[in-house]
């Protein structure tokens, strides 16, 4: 890093974020370490930032976050909204036969995406493992408008379908630890060194991702696309302030609710509810509706928690 290269402010893209440690990519492709200029600046992978040199400490400071086109945000335990990843156009929830999927977590990710105007999709990895993933669940996602692709990062089966899904999109791979998100990145981008510094061994000695990292497709079917690998999660709840209070991000509710008797129907216990009628008629998955009910209850809890934390 020469002094002249740091002489002026510049704009850059955050390609990795781990706490207050950032890696930013300049428009010339060069990557630099950087850190947020203040405690209050919350910067995530995918953000575009304005950077300035800090000559005293010989480092790069990200001083401003440029307006985000999209933001995936989660609710923390206090109910407050926390940014997860910015400027993505697509969220791909990765599931696998092992570890067995928690479809309620998958649903909540997809709700957060839908609420944030981000396309949602499901990738079913480890298709080489002779253990089926519930086809009824995948059919329910397809009916809701979320496509799914089957693949195996190990055998290479289905990777073309995944490339087609990712083409020209800025996508994040999310999901439980061990489903194969980083393996998919390595299979799709063999030249990208999935930096080992971003990986640590967990208590069972497996490599697990600790920081989100963006990779760009330079060739192949998905040229023009960007793929962001992210750390595995046990749970996920969408940020409440970003959720549409009416639909909670469920496309089926959005589509069916005009048929409800009450325009402010919450689809819980109200009479003549079109969503309940669709469940009874077998047109809406019972599990997706149960997921809606759970998220409705959680939404109220998080709103309440947020109220408490605001009053502190």
- Single out the residue of 73, 82, 80 nearest to residue 310, CA to CA: 80
Identify the residue among 74, 267, 288, 298 touching Zn ion (CB under 5 A): 267
- Applying CB under 5 A, which part among 8-16, 127-135, 188-196, 275-283 lies near Zn ion? 275-283
Query: From CA 112, how far away is CA 240, in angstroms rounded?
Result: 9
**What six digits make up the tokens of 189?**
């981008």
CA distance 173 to 88: 11
- 181 near Zn ion, rule: CB under 5 A: no
β-pair type (31-36, 21-26) = antiparallel
Tell me which of Mg ion, Zn ion, ligand GTP, none is bound by residue 260, counting a contact when its beta carbon lies within the kind-specific cut-off of 5 to 8 angstroms: Zn ion
Contact 112, 75 (CB under 8 A): no
The total of other beta-carbon atoms located within 10 Å of residue 28's CB is: 8
Per CB under 5 A, the list member of 87, 171, 176, 182 interacting with Mg ion is 182
Choose which of 92, 116, 172, 273 interacts with Zn ion (CB under 5 A): 273
* Residue whose entry in the numeric block shows the structure tokens 């991000």: 249
Report the C-alpha gap between 98 and 278 in whole angstroms: 32
User: What x/- string results for residues 190 through 209 when contact with Mg ion is judged by CB under 5 A?
Assistant: -------------------x
Least spacing, CB of residue 111 vs ligand GTP, in Å: 21
Q: Which is nearer to Zn ion, 206 or 294 (CB)?
A: 294
CB of 216 to ligand GTP, least distance (A): 19
Of 79, 232, 238, 249, which lies in the binding site for ligand GTP, with binding defined by CB under 6 A?
Answer: 232
The helix/strand/coil state of 215 is strand
Residues 137-196 that bind ligand GTP (CB under 6 A): 152-154, 177-183
CA dist., res. 311 & res. 222, Å (int): 48
Considering only 29-37, 60-68, 115-123, 173-181, which stretch makes contact with Mg ion by CB under 5 A?
173-181
**Nearest distance in Å: CB 127, ligand GTP:** 7
User: What minimum distance in Å lies between the beta carbon of 270 and ligand GTP?
Assistant: 40
Helices vs. strands in the chain: H and E counts, helices first: 7, 15
- Count of residues in the chain: 312
92, β-bridge pairs? 121, 173
For residues 125 and 153, the answer to whether their CB atoms sit within 8 Å is yes
Rounded to a whole number of angstroms, the minimum distance from the CB of residue 230 to Mg ion is 8
Binding site for Mg ion (CB under 5 A): 181-182, 209
Binding site for ligand GTP (CB under 6 A): 125-126, 128-129, 152-154, 177-183, 207-209, 231-232
């Amino acid at each position: 890093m020469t002094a002249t290269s740091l002489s002026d402010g510049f704009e850059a893209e955050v390609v990795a974020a781990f706490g207050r440690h950032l890696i930013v990519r300049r428009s010339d492709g060069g990557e630099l370490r950087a850190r947020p200029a203040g405690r209050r600046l919350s910067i995530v992978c995918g953000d575009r930032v304005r950077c300035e040199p800090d000559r005293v400490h010989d480092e790069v400071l990200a001083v401003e976050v440029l307006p985000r086109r999209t933001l995936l945000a989660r609710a923390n335990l206090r109910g407050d909204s926390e940014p997860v990843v910015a400027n993505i156009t697509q969220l791909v929830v990765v599931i696998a036969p092992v570890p067995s999927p928690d479809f309620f977590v998958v649903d909540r990710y997809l709700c957060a995406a839908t609420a944030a105007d981000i396309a949602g999709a499901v990738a079913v990895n480890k298709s080489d493992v002779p253990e089926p993933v519930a086809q009824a669940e995948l059919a329910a996602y397809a009916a809701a408008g979320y496509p799914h692709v089957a693949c195996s990062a190990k055998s290479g089966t289905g990777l073309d379908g995944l490339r087609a899904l990712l083409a020209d999109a800025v996508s994040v791979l999310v999901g439980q630890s061990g489903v194969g998100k980083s393996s998919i990145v390595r299979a799709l981008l063999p030249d990208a060194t999935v930096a080992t510094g971003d990986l640590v061994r967990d208590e069972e000695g497996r490599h697990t991702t600790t920081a989100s990292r963006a990779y760009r497709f330079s060739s192949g079917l998905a040229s023009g696309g960007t793929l962001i690998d992210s750390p595995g999660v046990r749970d996920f709840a969408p940020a409440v302030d970003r959720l549409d209070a009416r639909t909670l991000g469920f496309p089926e509710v959005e589509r069916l609710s005009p048929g409800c008797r009450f325009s402010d129907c919450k689809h819980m216990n109200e009479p003549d509810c079109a969503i309940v009628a669709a469940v009874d008629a077998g047109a809406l998955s019972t599990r997706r509706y149960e997921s809606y009910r759970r998220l409705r209850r959680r939404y109220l809890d998080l709103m309440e928690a947020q109220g408490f934390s605001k009053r502190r």
